[in-house]
Structure 1
Amino acid sequence: MKNDIVVGLDIGSSNIKLVIGQNKGEYGDGRLSVIGAVSHPSAGVGKGGMINSIEDVVSSLSACLEKAERLVGLPISSVWLSFNNSKIRYEKTKGVAIISKNDGEIDYSDIERAIDSAKSFPVPNNYEIVDTIPVRYNIDSNEDVKSPIGMNGVRLEVEVLVVLALSGQINNLIKIVHRANLDIDGLFLPSLSLSSAFLSNKEKELGSAVVDIGSTTTSLAVYEDGNLLHLAVLPIGSEHITSDIALGLKCPISLAEKIKTHFGNADSEGYTDEDEIDISSILKDENVDDLDIISSKYLSQIIEARVEEIFSMVDDELKKINRSRILPVGVFLSGGGILLKNIQKIAKKVLALPVANINTSCLKIEVDRAQSPEFFTALSLLVSSRQEGNKEKRSNFLKNNLGGIADSLGNFFKKIIPR
C-alpha cells in the first residue's frame, strides 16, 4: 500500500467500519483527507464485543475489505485497529524509582523504572497488561509534577492506570486481521484514540470526558489537568435500546432496529397519547400483522428509559472519581448509538454537564458517509496513525505519554505475534 494511504478499522458487534485516509501533501491544506468509508454487518462478535467465531468475523471483514478496495481503487494491506470489549479491566497502581545518579537528575530511564515497578502486581489469570498510562508524578515532597524529565530528586513516584485485556481475545482479534491478509500498524482502545485525536490539550486540562456508545458497550475516558483520570467500559449500548423496543412493541428484532433508526426519539416530552407513527413504509420483508401504527409517546418512553440508564451508568463512573457534574468542558459523544434524536438533551439532563458530539474538523472528510458518528472511532485511528507515523513526532509523542498504548502494545505484540 502506498505510503500516503492509511486505513482505520473498527470491528464492532453490529458492523465493521473501515475508513481510508490520504495525505495529499503540498496539494492539500495539511489535514489528512478521508477518501473512503464503508461498513458491513459483522458476524461472530457477541455481547460485550466478545469474539465467538473467528471464521464468521474473517468472512465479514473480507467482505468489508472488498467493498473498500472497490470504492477507492487501491489495494489495502495494513490497518490501524481498535479493540474493545466489556471484559477489559483497569487498575490504578503506584511505582517508585530511587534516583541514584550523582547529580540526581531524572531521565527517561528513571520514569521507565518507576512504571515497571507499578506493574509489579498480581495479574488475573488469562489477562495481559496491554497499557500503562501515567496519571501523575511526585518527586520527593513535590506533588503533581507534570513532566519530571530534567528535574532533580531522590525519590520518583508515579501513579499509573494499568489496562488489562483477555490475552485470548487480543490473540483472536490479531488472528482475524491476519487471516484477512492484513498487517496491523497499531492497536488502540477507542476511548483513548478518540481523546488523543479529537480533544484539545486545553479541553483535557480544564476537565472533559469522551463517551463512545457502541452496539453492546459504552466506553468512557475522563481527563483533568491534562491527565487521564479514569477509563471504563460499560456492558450496555444501543442494541439494548433495540431489544427494549422489540419487547415493548412485541415485534421482531429486525423491525425494532428499523423503528429505532427511522423514528427513534430519546425525548418523550411534548408527545401526547394521541400522537402516532405510521410505520407501514418499513414493514416490507417483515412478517408482522396489525402493527402499522404505533404510539409516538410510548416508543420514545421506551427509548428514553434506556438512554437515561446509559448516562446514569456514566454518571456513576464519574462519581467514583468525584467528578460528577463538575467537568467544566463537559462530555463529548461518539459512536453509532448517538444517532438517536435528542440524545444530547437527555445526556445533559442526566449528567448536568455540557454535551456535544466530537468535532472531527482536524480531518478533511471528502465522503459524506464518514461524517456519521458511527465512523468516529475509525476516523480517530487515522489521526493516531499520523501522530505515530512520523518518526520524530512518534518519539516526542511517546516521551510525552510514556506507557502510551502504541508503545506498550508494541512490546505486547513481540510476545504474541509470530514473526
Structure 2
Amino acid sequence: MKHKLIAGLDIGSTAVRLVLGQLIATENGEKLQVVGAVSGPANGVSKGVITSIEDATSSISACLEKAERLLGVSVSEVYIGINGPNLKCERSKGVVGVSRSDSEINNEDVVRVNQAAEALTVPQHYSILHVVPLMYKVDNQEFIKNPIGMTGIRLEAEVLIVQSLSSQIKNLTRSIERAGLAINDLVFSPLAAATVVVDSTQKELGVAVVNLGSSTTSVAVFEEGEVLHTAVLPIGSAHITNDIAIGLRCSLVLAEKIKVRYGSAKAENFNKKDEIDISDLLAEENLNEDNSAISRHYVAEIIQARVEEILEKVDAELKKIQRSGMLPAGVVLIGGGAKLGDLVEIAKKCLRLPVSLGGNRQVPTVNDKVNDLEYLTALGLVAWGEQQQRMVGPGTFLPGNIGGWLKKIVGWIKP
C-alpha cells in the first residue's frame, strides 16, 4: 500500500482492536480514510493494566497477523490507547517572562510556560502522560486560549496533567515492542475517542465522553473546547455479567450471552411473568437443565442495579468539578458495554443530562465495522495520529516523555 498508514491499537481487558487508516492525496490536500479494522481476544490484561507481558504480546501479535492476512497490510508503528484505574489528573500553573524585546509571545514562550506548569511534584512511581493547556493569562488579561502573537510581559498557563504509573507505561510499551511494533504515541483512551465522537460545538458547550469497557469505565469531560476532567473507574460491563452469573447460578459464558441477547437496564419495562427461553443458549453450551425459562424482569433487575451503581460513580466524578447535571451537550456513551438495552434511558434519569450513544462524526470510512461502539477508541487513535502528523509532520516524532509532551501541547493549541 503506497499511502502512509496510521494505526490505532486499543488494548482492552477482553479484546485487542486495531483500526488502520491512510492519508490519501486529494485536490484539497491529504485526507484521512479508514481502510479496515480487526480484533482478537485479549489475554494478560486486567482492568486496562498488563498482568502478563508474554500473554499480552501474544494477543497483540495475533491481532497483527490477522490484519496482515485479512487486509493485506504490514503494520510497523501504532498509536496506543492507555487506560486503567491508576491514571490520575491534576491541575497546575506556571509563569514565565516573555522573551522577545518587542514583548510579542511566540511558540518558544508557550513551550516554556507549559514546561513551568509541568514542573509540579509528580508522585513517586508516576509519569506524565499528557500536558493539556486549559487557559493562559497575559499580564492581567485572563481566559486566553492561544496567546501566540499577543503582546505582554508576563505569561501564565494553567494546564491539566494526566499521569500514569510508570510501571504500567513500561509494561505496556514492552508488550508492544516485543510484538515488533514501534510506538508513535501513548494516548489516554477517552481523549482519543473524543476526537471522533464529539465535535467542537459539543466540547465548547460542555460534554462528557463515557467509555463503558469490560473492567473499567473511563470519563473525559470537556468544556469551552478544552479537557476539564478525566477519570477511570474500576468497574465495567463484566461486573454486570458476574452479577447475572451469581443471580442465575449459571456459567459466566452463559451469563454473558443472556446479557447480550436479552439484557435490559430498565426492569420496569417487564412484568414478573415475562420469561426468556434460553434453551438455544443451553444447547450452545452443551448444558442440559430442566428449567430453560428464566424471568426477564429478574434479569433486568440485576442489570439495572449494577448499571445504576456505575452511573452513580460517573455522576460522582461530575460532582467533583461541579458539573453534575450541568453539561448542556450531555453525555456520549461508547464502548461495548454501551450496547446494553435501555441504557440511554436509564442514564438520562440517573445523570439528569441528555445522553446519546457515540458514533463516528469525523472520519470517512469504507468499512462500517469501525463505526461500532467497540471500535470508536481505536478509530479515535487513528484520528489522533492524523492530527499529530499534520501538526508535526510524518516521520518527525519528537522525543520526550512517553509519547512526547511537546507534540501534545502543540496539538491542543489550535492557532
What TM-score do you get using the length of structure 2 for normalisation?
0.90
Counterpart of 2:56 in structure 1 is: 57
Q: Which residue of 1 aligns with 2:233?
A: 234
How big is each residue's C-alpha offset from its partner over 1:188-226, in whole Å with a ceiling of 9 and x where there is no partner?
Answer: 111111223332222111111111111111111111111
Opposite residue 270 of structure 2, the aligned amino acid is Y
Counterparts of 1:26 and 1:101 in 2: how far apart (Å)?
Answer: 40
Change (3 A) 1:295 1:159: same
For residue 339 of structure 2, what is the aligned residue in structure 1? Answer: 339
Distance 1:29 1:139 in 2: 35
How far is the alpha carbon of 1:61 from its aligned partner?
1.4
Superposed displacement of residue 34, structure 1? 2.8
In the alignment, the residues of structure 2 paired with residue 180 and residue 320 of structure 1 have an alpha-carbon distance, to the nearest angstrom, of 40
Match of 1:22, SS state, is: strand
**Gap change, CA 1:392 and 1:303, over 3 Å in 2:** same
Aligned-pair CA distance for 1:326: 1.4
Structure 1 residues not aligned, in runs of 5+: 412-419
Q: What is aligned with 2:94?
A: 95
C-alpha distance in 1, partners of 2:107/2:406? 19
> Is residue 267 from structure 1 mapped to residue 261 from structure 2 by the alignment?
no
Flag the 1:107–1:41 CA change in 2: closer, same or farther, 3 A: same
Distance 1:195 1:76 in 2: 24
Distance of aligned partners of 1:272 and 1:66 in 2 relative to their CA distance in 1, 3 Å threshold: same
Shift, 1:406, TM fit:
4.9
Shift of 1:121: 2.5
The whole-number CA distance in structure 2 between the counterparts of 1:27 and 1:133 is: 33
Does 2:105 correspond to 1:86?
A: no
Q: Which amino acid in structure 2 is aligned with residue 354 of structure 1?
A: P
Q: 1:2 to 1:115 in 2, by over 3 A?
A: same
Moved more, 320-329 or 22-31: 22-31
Cα distance between partner residues in 1 of 2:208 and 2:217: 13
1:352-396 alpha-carbon deviations (Å, 9 max, x no partner): 1111122314223333332210010011112112212235678xx
Q: 2-side partners of 1:368 and 1:265: how far apart?
A: 25
Q: Is the contact made by 2:91 and 2:158 (CA closer than 8 Å) also made in structure 1?
A: yes
Within 5 Å, give how 1:102-181 maps onto structure 2: 102-181=101-180
Give every structure 1 segment of 4 or more consecutive aligned residues whose post-TM-superposition deviation is greater than 6 Å.
27-30
Contact 2:331 2:354 in 1 (8 A): yes
Match of 1:208 in 2: 207
Output the TM-score relative to the length of structure 1: 0.90
Aligned-partner residue type, residue 372 of structure 2: S
Amino acid at match of 1:336: G
Unaligned runs of 5+ in 2: 409-415
Give yes or no for contact 1:131–1:404 (8 Å, CA) kept in 2.
Answer: no
Cα deviation for residue 317 of structure 1 reads 0.9
For residue 357 of structure 2, what is the aligned residue in structure 1?
357
| Residue aligning to 1:414 | none
Q: Is the 8 A contact 2:129 2:405 kept in 1?
A: yes
* Alpha-carbon distance in 1 for matches of 2:31, 2:390: 14
AA in 1 matched with 2:259: K
Task: Please give the alpha-carbon distance, in whole angstroms, between the structure 2 residues aligned to 1:350 and 1:184.
Answer: 39
Amino acid at match of 2:84: N
CA apart distance, 1:286: 5.1
Query: Percent of pairs identical after alignment?
Result: 46
Number of aligned residue pairs: 404
Equivalent in the alignment of 2:411: none
Deviates more, 1:99-108 or 1:35-44: 99-108
Residues in 1 aligned to 2:193 and 2:323: alpha-carbon distance in whole angstroms:
20
CA distance in 1, matches of 2:346, 2:121: 41
User: Partner residue of 1:300?
Assistant: 300
The separation in 2 between residues aligned to 1:182 and 1:23, in whole angstroms, is 20
Cα 1:409–1:118 shift into 2, 3 Å: closer
In the TM superposition, what is the alpha-carbon distance from 1:10 to its structure 2 partner? 0.5
Q: 2:405 aligns with which of 377, 384, 408?
A: 408
| 1:255/1:286 contact within 8 Å kept | no
Distance 1:53 1:392, change over 3 A: closer
Q: CA deviation at 1:311?
A: 1.4
SS in 2 for 1:364: coil
Q: Verify the 8 A CA contact 1:251 1:288 in the aligned structure 2.
A: no
The change in CA–CA distance for 1:306 and 1:30 in structure 2 (over 3 A counts) is farther
* Letter of the structure 1 residue corresponding to residue 129 of structure 2: V
Structure 2 Cα separation of the partners of residues 163 and 62 of structure 1: 29
SS at match of 2:64: helix
3-state SS in 2 of match to 1:151: coil
CA RMSD of aligned residues (A): 2.6
Deviation at residue 3 of structure 1 after TM alignment? 3.5
User: Tell me, what secondary structure is at the counterpart of 1:240?
Assistant: helix
User: In structure 1, how many angstroms separate the alpha carbons of the residues matched to 2:30 and 2:279?
Assistant: 48
Q: State the distance in 1 between where 2:288 and 2:56 align.
A: 30
CA contact (8 A) 1:279 1:294 kept: yes
In structure 1, distance between residues paired with 2:217 and 2:250: 25
Matches within 5 A, 1:245-260: 245-260=244-259
How do 1:367-406 and structure 2 match up within 5 A? 367-390=367-390, 406=403
Matched residue SS, 1:210: strand
